[in-house]
Amino acid sequence: MKQEKTSIITLKDAKNLSAASSPFYVYDEKAILENAKQVMDAFSWNKGFREYFAVKANPIPDIVKILVDMGCGCDCSSDTELTIASALKAPIMFSSNVTPAKEYVHAKKLGAIINLDDITHISFLKECAGIPETICCRYNSGGNFEVGPNCMGTPGDAKYGMTREQIFEAYRILKSEGVKNFGLHAFLASNTLTNAYYPKLAKELFTLAVELKEKLDVNISFINLSGGIGVAYHPDETPNDIYAISEGVKQQYESILTPAGMEPAIYTELGRYMLAPYGQLVTRVLHEKHIYKEYIGCDACAANLMRPAMYGAYHHIIVLGKEDWPCDHIYDVTGSLCENNDKFAIDRKLPEIKTGDILVICDAGAHGSSMGYHYNGKLHCAEYLKKTDGSFKLIKRAEKPADYFATFRIDPETGNERWK
């Protein structure tokens, strides 16, 4: 085991909170702060460095605020995310992606840096909101992006960004439209578990930035390495080392940008790396079922955490109070959706589990509850922040049936028609 997974919450506290409502999410404020501090510290060699937290990973304002208060900005990609970032007075990066006009208008009004996903969006943005003085363009290198033996992105199959030719053309047009400061962005591989991803991406983007500057005489004020730094979901995996990653980026910076007389700020848009390990889904075992396989049924389901169902993602499971028991049983751990992929674990070796046990599903702090959905009419659960003083603060209440019914023309609770 390369890293021991531990529960954020004790069995006693978990019992108390789950008596109020189960399942629930819990986040560890102290660990979020420590990790964010390391990210800032690792990149402090770069004058303008800023992490724009990817809000889609976890939009709960209390969580985003922890990062914003530490100096992070927000990376947003929708109207509601813009509203959340703006309420927290965060500097904003707006990642366009099939963007409606009203979101460009909203982003521009908030003074967000707009990251254009496509060359055709230049005229679209000009028409709906006008071209700002600072703008970013998203690059897609095409083909495969190999980072290591077990790590590859496939940008050639991704819907994002502009081709190399288009980036040159986009910068040329934008310069003629009065843009003064340019940014360059790319996201070429996701959840990378190697310290080599950012340095390799940096080399590609820095080289392109020098060419853009030399060919078009533009001022490149920042380079955005985006997200993609992964976390070790499995205990046998080795976590990334943010200091090694930053050092690798620095070496590329000094060998490519410095000689070209350039000193752009480095931006990141980490989501997973900022939060995944510091949030857990806590769920109670409702049933044990013995048929052709052994099933443990719990009160959380894929609607609370869809990564296992959607990607077959591994999430480590701790049985609270049985941490030291031998893992001599093999279970499928399931939720209650009428959908057979609703499994948090398949053929997982675990200690003997009994009805009433509390399970902690690890590494659910990013792309966890934010991917939640309402299939089978399932409601989103409560979420708590474990504060640095050890107390628990409710940061998102559990949804009530009325929340779910609120958008229907016929209100199922009263039978009333809300509109004709």
State the minimum distance, in angstroms, from the CB of residue 131 to ligand PLP: 21
| Residue closer to ligand PLP, measured from CB, 158 or 395 | 158
State the minimum distance, in angstroms, from the CB of residue 276 to ligand PLP: 8
Is there binding between residue 304 and ligand PLP (CB under 6 A)?
A: no
Spatial CA neighbour of 59 closest among 366, 406, 382: 366
User: Which of the residues 172 through 231 are near ligand PLP (CB under 6 A)?
Assistant: 187, 190-191, 226-228
- Cα end-to-end distance, the chain, whole Å: 61
| Residue closer to ligand PLP, measured from CB, 271 or 277 | 271
| Residue closer to ligand PLP, measured from CB, 319 or 364 | 364
State the minimum distance, in angstroms, from the CB of residue 359 to ligand PLP: 24
State the minimum distance, in angstroms, from the CB of residue 97 to ligand PLP: 7
State the minimum distance, in angstroms, from the CB of residue 185 to ligand PLP: 8
| Residue closer to ligand PLP, measured from CB, 13 or 81 | 81
| Residue closer to ligand PLP, measured from CB, 54 or 67 | 54
| Residue closer to ligand PLP, measured from CB, 25 or 331 | 25
User: Which of the residues 136 through 155 are near ligand PLP (CB under 6 A)?
Assistant: none
User: Which of the residues 41 through 100 are near ligand PLP (CB under 6 A)?
Assistant: 54, 56-57, 75, 95
- DSSP β-bridge partners for residue 289: 295
What is the four-CA torsion angle of 388, 394, 396, 402, rounded to 10 degrees? Answer: 180
Reading phi first (left if > 0) and then psi (alpha if -120 to 50, else beta), residue 228 is in left
User: Which of the residues 355 through 374 are near ligand PLP (CB under 6 A)?
Assistant: 366
| Residue closer to ligand PLP, measured from CB, 244 or 379 | 244
State the minimum distance, in angstroms, from the CB of residue 192 to ligand PLP: 9
SS3 string of the chain? CCCCCCCCCCHHHHHHHHHHCCCEEEEEHHHHHHHHHHHHHHCCCCCCCEEEEEHHHCCCHHHHHHHHHCCCEEEECCHHHHHHHHHCCCCEEEECCCCCHHHHHHHHHCCCEEEECCCCHHHHHHHHCCCCCEEEEEECCCCCEEEECCEEECHHHCCCCECHHHHHHHHHHHHHCCCCEEEEECCCCCCECCCCHHHHHHHHHHHHHHHHHHHHCCCEEEEECCCCECCCCCCCCCCCCHHHHHHHHHHHHHHHHHHHCCCCEEEECCCHHHHHHHEEEEEEEEEEEECCCEEEEECCCCCCCCHHHHHCCCCCEEECCCCCCCCCEEEEEECCCCCCCCEEEEEEEECCCCCCCEEEECCCCCCCHHHCCCHHHCCCCEEEEECCCCCEEEEECCCCHHHHHCCCCECCCCCCECCC
State the minimum distance, in angstroms, from the CB of residue 44 to ligand PLP: 20
| Residue closer to ligand PLP, measured from CB, 18 or 226 | 226
State the minimum distance, in angstroms, from the CB of residue 55 to ligand PLP: 9
The residue nearest ligand PLP at its CB is 227
| Residue closer to ligand PLP, measured from CB, 272 or 386 | 272
Size of the site for ligand PLP (CB under 6 A): 17
State the minimum distance, in angstroms, from the CB of residue 92 to ligand PLP: 13
Contact string 310-339 vs ligand PLP (x = CB under 6 A): ------------------------------
| Residue closer to ligand PLP, measured from CB, 197 or 253 | 197
| Residue closer to ligand PLP, measured from CB, 40 or 260 | 40
State the minimum distance, in angstroms, from the CB of residue 155 to ligand PLP: 13
Q: How far apart are CA 349 and CA 314, in angstroms?
A: 13
**Peptide bond before residue 235 is cis, with ω within 30 degrees of 0:** no
State the minimum distance, in angstroms, from the CB of residue 246 to ligand PLP: 15
User: Which of the residues 259 through 298 are near ligand PLP (CB under 6 A)?
Assistant: 269-273
Residues of this chain that interact with ligand PLP (CB under 6 A) are 54, 56-57, 75, 95, 187, 190-191, 226-228, 269-273, 366
